[in-house]
Amino acid sequence: MAVELEFDYSNLMGSNVGLQHGLQEAEIAALQPLVDRIHKQLADDIDEQCRHRELGFWDLPHTMREELPSLQAAAEQFKGLADAHLILGIGGSYLGARMLFDGLCHRYWNELPADRRGGWPRIYFEGNGVDNDSFADLLDRLGDQPLTVHVVSKSGETLETGLAFRAVRQRLGDQVKGWAFTTGDDTRVDRFCRSLDLPNLQVFRLPDNVGGRDSVLTPVGLFPAAMMGLQLDQLLDGAHQMRDCCHANSHITRNPAYLYAGLQHLSELAGRNISVMAVWSKALESFGLWYDQLSAESLGKEGRGRTPLTAVCTRELHSRGQQHQAGSRDKVITNLFVREPNREKVRTEDDPGDDAERAIYASERIPTAEEQGRTDGYFFAAGRSFAAVNEFAFMATDSAYAKDQRPGLSLTVPRLDEEHLGALIFLFELATVVEGRLMAINPLNQPGVQAYKDFLTGLLGKPGLEAYRDECLALRAATKGYVLNVGSDI
């Protein structure tokens, strides 16, 4: 089944939202020479085996196919070992799998009986922080049952994930019936896990030229997807189709990745440096959070880079919607909309009294207080599905923003399935790289992430990092304090 995508940037253009707030066709066209150079750079990033040197994610729709049988076999083995599966990882080692789980699984997956889950286990996530109570709650939940565990760390030295691995090994080790690890070549966690007598050990490799934030279509995300019973080949098919689409044409208005990158880049240059991804399905909230990391870690450098935020609609229309509609003009809204729901359409029917209320309005008067007590007042939406109301809400919000000259664009897919999610993953990965090249920064590194890690491991006493410990303590000691302490006697 072919991937379909509608990319509507009408309300980002000055002809619709005003020249002061929108872009002009000439600005977009002026990017074409630079886009052509970037397109050639991407095409030239090939080694003697016809694989990309830097952009490892480009090859994954092809290279990961040979990994699918082993991933699926390991998942089938783990499926028979326990009804709980724990994934330990942080950043890209967590967000991709979480995005697949929330996007493609039943919203109440862990509460369903095993037969409703096709025999696949309940899924849990940890190792994405050092929140004491969250981890204690996990130990409490899993403390009396068998489970399998997947530890994900490209470097093999991620503190949060490593501490979670140690705690699970020490506190729940006897209950773990299968261990899986996804890591880079010759990492410490690789050497350590092989030295232990771990039951049903599986070790998967993360390619060196694939960064954590681009790793969802490697075993980082594909093994968890297999443990959820998802169709791995369709995820890769969708990514493959989007890759072919983007590879075939360098024209900025015919290539969705280049177009998205160019529009966001021009918007940032115009002072709109907050990018809001408004997802119109709760299932896509984790996709937004995955993209937040992809964008922020790739583009937030050298004092530049837009700030990405995720908003779930219509939920956030009752909170941040006020800011988006009437606040500072520093934002671009990207709507991500799914046309058809995956489940049976839910709709409300007529209540007793609805016809009487329709008649009251038809007579051009307002119901009295007594008449208002006879119905709930929502007769006008009776017979419409929640999906239809959601689409009307999307149209209404988009129009309200445009009326006030608030720029935005919309990406619409016909349905949310493995194929379309795979396509969206590749689209945003490539768009982020291209946007970084347009900014003339390196979108593949993340030097800023290391700063807190050095201070933290120094404070914890890791040998060789005493200088970072001392620097951190000195900075805090030299900070002039402005502190309000509130006591219980207030």
Q: Which residues are catalytic?
A: 297, 318, 453
Q: How far apart are CA 17 and CA 23, in angstroms?
A: 9
Phi, psi of 334 (to 5 degrees): -110, 110
Residue pair 175/85 in contact (Cβ under 8 Å)? The answer is no
Q: How far apart are CA 306 and CA 448, in angstroms?
A: 15
Q: How far apart are CA 250 and CA 6, in angstroms?
A: 18
Residue pair 306/260 in contact (Cβ under 8 Å)? The answer is no
Where would I find the H helices in 143-231?
159-172, 188-195, 219-227
Q: Give the burial string for 38-58 (b: 16+ CB within 10 Å, else e).
A: bbeebeeeeeeeebbebbbbb
Angle at which helix 449-460 crosses helix 159-172, to 10 degrees, equals: 50
Mapped onto helix, strand or coil, the DSSP state of residue 312 is: strand
The number of beta carbons lying within 10 Å of the beta carbon of residue 136 is 12
Helix (H) or strand (E) holding 123: strand 122-126
Q: How far apart are CA 347 and CA 332, in angstroms?
A: 33
Q: How far apart are CA 198 and CA 181, in angstroms?
A: 11
**Token pair for residue 423?**
């396509």
DSSP secondary structure of 321-338: HHHHHHS-S-EEEEEEEE
Residue whose structure tokens are 């991620």 = 158
Q: How far apart are CA 62 and CA 329, in angstroms?
A: 42
**Token pair for residue 266?**
């021009």
In the 8-state DSSP scheme, what is residue 175? G
Residue pair 401/6 in contact (Cβ under 8 Å)? The answer is no
Burial class (CB in 10 A: 0-12, 13-18, 19+), 166: exposed
